[in-house]
């Protein structure tokens, strides 16, 4: 009976298959365990590498910190013993003192100039200004000087008519903001100024101011 089982090809195939499966399982288990070992070893080596990098960085930082502390102690000793022992700081202090002195002189001059301008402004006893629109006229109520604007160009210039006391009316073409016209009325000098020309909203602004005798 046993010889029949051994000689039968089916049982031979089954036995061979079981043997191969057993060997394969053993080898696979060994390879998996070996892979895990290699993975853990790689992780450990990577951790060691990072640790070494951190230690190197810490060493460099400690070295730089030591240098900064030494420099700070040196500067502190200089300032404590003699504040002006540092040439660069001494030059900086002198430069600041010079700038302060020049600023005081400039401030004093500016104050004097402002006082003078204020005095001149008080002398100009009359001033009148008013905005108006395209197609309208500006009329000074005291001198009756008139400027009328009929067109405003996209280049912010204007066309119109100017009528000043004691003078004939003139046509204006391409006049720009800031243009002025001087005239006289009752022995007093005046100046008309075209202050603003706005093409976007078609508005204009003009003014008349009395001119002190000293400005003529």
Q: What per-residue confidence (pLDDT) applies to 214?
A: 64
pLDDT tens for each residue of 175-194: 999 999 999 999 999 999 99
What distances in angstroms separate CA 19 from CA 9, 27, 28, 152, one per listed residue?
Answer: 15, 12, 14, 107
Distance CA 95, CA 97 (A): 5
Q: What per-residue confidence (pLDDT) applies to 112?
A: 60
Flag the least confident range among 62-71, 156-165, 189-198: 62-71
Per DSSP, what are the bridge partners of residue 147?
A: 138, 162
Is pLDDT of 198 > 70? yes
Distance CA 36, CA 126 (A): 101
Q: What per-residue confidence (pLDDT) applies to 172?
A: 95
DSSP secondary structure of the chain = -HHHHHH-HHHHHHHHHHHHHHHHHHHHHHHHHHHHHHHHHHHHHHHHHHHHHHHHHHHHHHHHHHHHHHHHHHHHHHHHH-GGG-HHHHHHHHHHHHHHHHHHHHHHHHHHHHHHHHHHHHH---EEEEEEETT-EEE-TTT--EEEEEEE-TTS-EEEEEE-TTS--EEEEEE-TT-EEEEEETTEEEEEEEEEEETTTTEEEEEEEEPPGGG-
Mean pLDDT of 64-70: 78
| pTM for this predicted structure | 0.44
Compare 48 and 136 and report the one with higher pLDDT: 136
Is residue 2 very low, low, confident or very high in pLDDT (cuts 50, 70, 90)? very low
Flag the least confident range among 17-21, 40-44, 132-136, 189-193: 17-21
Give phi and psi for 138, each to the nearest 5.
-100, 125
DSSP secondary structure of 44-81 = HHHHHHHHHHHHHHHHHHHHHHHHHHHHHHHHHHHHHH
């Amino acid at each position: 009976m046993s010889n029949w089982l051994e000689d039968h090809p089916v049982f031979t195939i089954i036995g061979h298959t079981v043997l191969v499966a057993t060997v394969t399982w053993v080898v696979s288990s060994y390879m998996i365990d070996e892979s895990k070992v290699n993975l853990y070893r790689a992780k450990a080596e990577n951790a060691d590498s990072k640790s070494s990098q951190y230690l190197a960085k810490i060493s460099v930082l400690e070295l730089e910190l030591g240098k900064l502390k030494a420099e700070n102690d040196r500067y502190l000793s200089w300032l404590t013993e003699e504040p002006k022992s540092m040439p660069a700081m001494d030059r900086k202090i002198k430069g600041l003192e010079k700038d302060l002195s020049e600023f005081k002189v400039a401030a004093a001059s500016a104050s004097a100039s402002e006082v003078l301008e204020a005095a001149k402004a008080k002398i100009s006893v009359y001033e009148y200004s008013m905005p108006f629109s395209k197609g309208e006229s500006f009329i000074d109520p005291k001198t009756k000087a008139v400027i009328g604007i009929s067109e405003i160009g996209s280049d912010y210039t204007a066309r119109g008519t100017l009528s000043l006391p004691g003078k004939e009316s003139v046509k204006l073409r391409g006049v720009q903001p800031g243009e002025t016209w001087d005239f006289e009325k009752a022995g007093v000098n005046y100046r008309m100024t075209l202050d603003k020309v706005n093409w976007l909203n078609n508005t204009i602004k003009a003014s008349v101011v009395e001119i002190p005798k000293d400005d003529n």
